Amino acid sequence: MTAFLIRRALSALPTLFGISVIAFLILGLLPSDPLLSWSPGAAAPSAEAMARARDALGPEPGPVARYADWGLGVLRGDLGRSRRDGRPVAEVIGEALPFTLVLNLCAVMAIYGLALPFGLLGAVRPASMTDRLGRWTLLALYTVPSFAAALVLQQIFAIRLRLLPLHGVSGPETLAGLAALADRLRHLVLPAACLALSGWAYVARYARAAFREALGQGFLAAARARGLSRRRALLHLAANTAVPLLTLLNAVIPGLAGGSVLVEQIFSWPGVGRLYLAAIEGRDTPVLLGLTLLSGTLVLAAQVAVDLLYAVAEPRLRATLIETPADVV
Amino acid sequence: MSSESRPGYLLPAAIIAGLFLAGLLAPVLATERPLVAVIGGRLVLPAFAGLPLVGPLFDADRARGIDWTSPPAEARVVLRAPVPFSDRGVRLDESLRPPDRRHPFGTDALGRDLLARCVHGARVSLLVGFGAGALALLVGCALGAIAGLRGGGVDLAIVRLTDVLSCFPAFILALAFVAAWGRPGLPPLVAGIVLSRWTGSARLVRGETLKRRGGDLWVAARATGAAGPRLFLRHLLPLLAAPLSVVAVFGVAQAIILESGLSFAGLGVEPPTPSWGAILAEALPGSGAAWWPIAFPAASLFIVLGALCVAAERLESAWRSSAAR
């Protein structure tokens, strides 16, 4: 088991290297002139001063040298410094990351918490009114862009109905204890719901299909024959069927991470998504590079984690997972 | 599988085709220039002059330079355009008018007619969506086929590249690419979408190529002398048409989502050219005061994407049931 875990984790290393190369190819090769980004806001230095500074700095290193320089820094945990305020990029990202992680974790929980019962309900009573209505809803939600959903839901629930806060992470500072917690949760509802919409539709569709297939295989009748109540038999069935649905996370997580960028912007959520847009606007390449690398790395880490979880939950599959290379899994 | 329990092709196809046509003809459908007018006793067609390619045919010297919002005495409007406003006609005195008979979708903060902007927005959103979606499919098929047919080092390189690229969230990859380009505009927009969207079809084509290699059909095709591109195009691609069409339709939906997102972030087409995402971005600051600048472009997006999704789903179930038979 341990050997499998280690092998799966190691097999991600080449991909990780590839992620850093692609991120650097896209962003690191920007025609960046360090002299022009020297002191933002100050008066432009004279041509003579620029030439002198250029002589002092020496020739610009080539792309490979720059990549090596940056990559070695990343390995040491040094992502460079932000061009905006000169703080270490790792520190800037570190401040924003917890907000994004909380938001996405809530979205993942909402996706599975709602999709599994929904799928089961549809599978138990196929072609019923709820099932048919549900299938139409899912189809409609499947391709809803999260940012457009965010604008519409914000308009309905925050601006018109005033049920939920418009944006931000928390209300007034005076709240304490349970009230503060409830306030924070209320701020989470809308952004998490917008992010979760299309993932929910995706997982629920698969859940319904998987449950229907399992129901057709006679497990339910067997469990009932052994004296289990229908409810308990269904729960057993659901638990077993739900495990493979974990792998759908591989497709859900990149969507969530991409969607967070605009959803965070709309709800003024101080996470890495908003930081990303701010970095684009400020042409803050070190931060952009760090965040792009981080997004790829987190998605890869999530993929590995899903594989590992799956292997733990489903011992039968361990053998096949070991034999097939990572890109097929 | 009974066909009546599932949504059909016809409605989604009609919706998409209708909106596509509306987008293509936007310069004629939504403009302050009249369709037909009489200037000094001669018939002119000023609205058609805005069309690409054929526009110059309708360009009349005397119609040029006329301000049609308040036409001079010698010009008489015979037939107005269906939406008699341009997408750029700023009227600050008509700022944020709610929907009424004059402006069915209302006006935005600059007093521009939102219906006109949504029609012109369909042009950008759908053209970029279909164009980038088709290009991504083409690139994916080509690279997938090369990987599957060549094998060896080429295959490994392409597989690794798709692995690495699919680790990046598509929106972030496209965003990074467009931001790195430096200037907003159509080429970086399309290139960014293609870059982050070709891997799906490449994987499908490569997998199917590998699966069919060595099969009877393959051997027979080889025996007739087919090789390389011909082998792929004539003997493999037709077999993949059904799954690829599903991928293609979903690809267009994804491209439209990416385009609208990038335009919303201010990295799409250059203002004042409207795209649904850009109209939404312009509506955000005033979202507390007016719902219509958000509701109508968002609804346009939802309708197109929903139609594409239903079409893809229908294609998929048709393909699956024919494959099962």
Residue B37, pLDDT above cutoff 90: no
SS3 B110: coil
Round to whole Å and give the CA distance between A88 and A36: 20
B293 within 8 A of B282, measured Cβ to Cβ: yes
Round to whole Å and give the CA distance between B133 and B247: 10
Low-confidence winner among A75-84, A316-325, B217-226 (lowest mean pLDDT): A316-325
Q: Which residues of A touch B170 (CB under 8 A)?
A: 254, 258
Shortest CA distance to A5 belongs to which of A301, A308, A303? Answer: A308
Low-confidence winner among A56-60, A324-328, B87-91 (lowest mean pLDDT): A324-328
Round to whole Å and give the CA distance between B139 and B207: 16
Touching check for A20 and chain B: CB below 8 Å?
A: no
CA A321 to mean position of chain CA atoms = 24
**pLDDT digits 0-9 by tens, A85-101:** 889 999 999 999 999 99
Inter-chain CB proximity A140 and B260 less than 8 Å? no
Q: Is residue A320 part of a domain?
A: yes
Q: What is the DSSP letter of A168?
A: S
Cα-flanking dihedrals φ and ψ of residue A99, to 5°? Answer: -60, -45
Best probe of the A interface among B5, B155, B172, by most A CBs < 10 A, is B172
Q: Is residue A116 part of a domain?
A: yes
SS3 B83: strand
Considering only residues B257 and A131, tell me which one the structure prediction assigns the higher pLDDT.
B257
Are A193 and A248 members of one domain?
A: yes
Residue A43 binned pLDDT confidence (cut-offs 50, 70, 90): low
Domain boundary among A49, A75, A101: A75
Q: What is the pLDDT at residue A319? A: 54
Q: Which of B182, B288, B309 sits opposite A139 (nearest CB)?
A: B309
Inter-chain CB proximity B309 and A255 less than 8 Å? no
**pLDDT digits 0-9 by tens, A157-180:** 998 898 888 888 877 777 777 888
Best probe of the B interface among A157, A197, A262, A291, by most B CBs < 10 A, is A262
Q: Is residue A87 part of a domain?
A: no
Q: What is the mean pLDDT of chain A?
A: 84
H helices, E strands: number in chain B: 13, 3
Inter-chain CB proximity B302 and A299 less than 8 Å? no
**Residues in a beta bridge with B38:** B43, B76
Q: Which residues of B touch A27 (CB under 8 A)?
A: 176, 179-180
Q: Can you tell me the mean pLDDT for B108-135?
A: 92
Residue B4 binned pLDDT confidence (cut-offs 50, 70, 90): very low
Q: What is the pLDDT at residue A32? A: 54
Q: Can you tell me the mean pLDDT for B180-207?
A: 90
ipTM above 0.90, yes or no: no
Q: What is the pLDDT at residue A234? A: 85
Q: Which residues of B touch A140 (CB under 8 A)?
A: 302, 306, 309
Residue A36 binned pLDDT confidence (cut-offs 50, 70, 90): low
Q: Is residue A153 part of a domain?
A: yes
Are A157 and A110 members of one domain?
A: yes
Are A236 and A275 members of one domain?
A: yes
Q: What is the mean pLDDT of chain B?
A: 86
Domain boundary among A75, A105, A138: A75
Touching check for A100 and chain B: CB below 8 Å?
A: no
Q: Can you tell me the mean pLDDT for A208-234?
A: 85
Q: Can you tell me the mean pLDDT for A197-222?
A: 87
**Most confident segment among A19-33, A233-247, A315-329:** A233-247
* Cβ pairs bridging A and B (under 8 Å): 139
- The tally of domains found in chain A comes to 2
Q: What is the DSSP letter of B235?
A: I
Are A273 and A312 members of one domain?
A: yes
Residue A45, pLDDT above cutoff 70: no
Could you tell me the end-to-end alpha-carbon distance of chain A, in angstroms, rounded to an integer? 17
CA B216 to mean position of chain CA atoms = 40
Q: What is the pLDDT at residue B233? A: 82
* Residue found by looking up tokens 């994407």 in the block: B305
Touching check for A282 and chain B: CB below 8 Å?
A: no
Output the DSSP codes for A4-61. Answer: HHHHHHHTTHHHHHHHHHHHIIIIITS---TTTTSSTTSPPPPHHHHHHHHHHH-SPP
Q: What is the pLDDT at residue A8? A: 81
- Enumerate residues 228 to 257 of chain A having a beta carbon within 8 A of any beta carbon in chain B: 254-257
Minimal-distance CA residue of chain A relative to B173: A292
Q: What is the pLDDT at residue B325? A: 67
Are A150 and A175 members of one domain?
A: yes
Residue B112, pLDDT above cutoff 70: yes
Q: What is the pLDDT at residue A29? A: 64
Residue A132 binned pLDDT confidence (cut-offs 50, 70, 90): confident
Residue A2, pLDDT above cutoff 80: no
Inter-chain CB proximity B257 and A143 less than 8 Å? yes
Low-confidence winner among A10-24, A31-45, A139-153, B127-141 (lowest mean pLDDT): A31-45
Considering only residues B32 and B274, tell me which one the structure prediction assigns the higher pLDDT.
B274
B208 within 8 A of B240, measured Cβ to Cβ: yes
CATH number at residue A298: 1.10.3720.10
Residue type (1 letter), A59: P
Considering only residues B75 and A32, tell me which one the structure prediction assigns the higher pLDDT.
B75
Are A71 and A183 members of one domain?
A: no
A7 within 8 A of A322, measured Cβ to Cβ: yes
Phi/psi class of residue A49: alpha, beta or left (left: φ > 0; alpha: ψ in -120 to 50)? alpha
Q: What is the DSSP letter of A107?
A: H
Q: Which of B169, B180, B283 sits opposite A26 (nearest CB)?
A: B180
Inter-chain CB proximity A280 and B267 less than 8 Å? yes
Q: Can you tell me the mean pLDDT for B32-45?
A: 82
Q: Can you tell me the mean pLDDT for B262-269?
A: 91
* Residue found by looking up tokens 């066909």 in the block: B3
Inter-chain CB proximity B159 and A265 less than 8 Å? no
Residue B241 binned pLDDT confidence (cut-offs 50, 70, 90): confident
Name the CATH topology of B116-324: MetI-like fold (1.10.3720)
Inter-chain CB proximity A303 and B167 less than 8 Å? yes
**Residues in a beta bridge with B107:** B113
Inter-chain CB proximity B172 and A276 less than 8 Å? yes
Residue type (1 letter), A229: S
Q: Is residue A120 part of a domain?
A: yes
Q: What is the pLDDT at residue A107? A: 96
For A171, the domain range is 92-328
Residue A238 binned pLDDT confidence (cut-offs 50, 70, 90): confident
- Enumerate residues 35 to 54 of chain A having a beta carbon within 8 A of any beta carbon in chain B: none
Are A28 and A97 members of one domain?
A: no
Inter-chain CB proximity B298 and A23 less than 8 Å? no
* Nearest chain B Cα distance for residue A277, angstroms: 8
Q: What is the DSSP letter of A62?
A: P
Inter-chain CB proximity A295 and B168 less than 8 Å? yes
Residue B197 binned pLDDT confidence (cut-offs 50, 70, 90): very high
Round to whole Å and give the CA distance between B180 and A27: 6
SS3 B18: helix
Q: Which residues of A touch B317 (CB under 8 A)?
A: none
Question: Alpha helix (H) ranges present in chain B?
Answer: 10-24, 26-29, 55-58, 114-150, 152-165, 170-181, 186-197, 199-212, 216-223, 228-230, 237-264, 276-283, 292-324
Q: Is residue A8 part of a domain?
A: yes
Q: What percent of chain A has pLDDT over 70?
A: 90
Residue B228, pLDDT above cutoff 80: no
* Nearest chain B Cα distance for residue A228, angstroms: 33
Residue type (1 letter), A287: V
